[in-house]
């Protein structure tokens, strides 16, 4: 299993890439709903904060299932955000 520091770096990297993609689409793609883009950027930032806080407070005695659930939750949230990002221009 990766250590907490690397996991936090991965979460920060993914969140920053999602935020950048949303910002670029908001500024440079014509026809993008700016209000939805702003809400999505806020959601990305709160996602990052939530998962970094969850990593810092591991349940004692339940480490492996905790990180397995954390990764599954993070992946599902990122997938949902990517779907919304794809629908900003529709």
Sign of CA dihedral 10, 72, 62, 54: positive
Report pTM: 0.91
| 46 — pLDDT class (breaks 50, 70, 90) | very high
pLDDT in tens, 8-30: 999 999 999 999 999 999 999 99
pLDDT in tens, 64-79: 999 999 999 999 999 9
Residue bearing the bigger pLDDT, 30 or 90: 30
Q: Are 76 and 13 in contact (CB under 8 A)?
A: no
44's enclosing H/E stretch is helix 34-56
């Amino acid at each position: 299993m990766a250590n907490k520091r690397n996991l936090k770096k991965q979460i920060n990297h993914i969140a920053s890439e999602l935020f950048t993609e949303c910002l670029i689409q908001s500024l440079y793609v014509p026809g993008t709903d700016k209000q939805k883009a702003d809400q999505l950027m806020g959601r990305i930032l709160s996602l990052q904060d939530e998962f970094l806080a969850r990593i810092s407070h591991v349940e004692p005695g339940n480490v492996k299932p905790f990180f397995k659930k954390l990764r599954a939750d993070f992946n599902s949230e990122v997938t949902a955000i990517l779907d919304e990002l794809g629908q900003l221009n529709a």
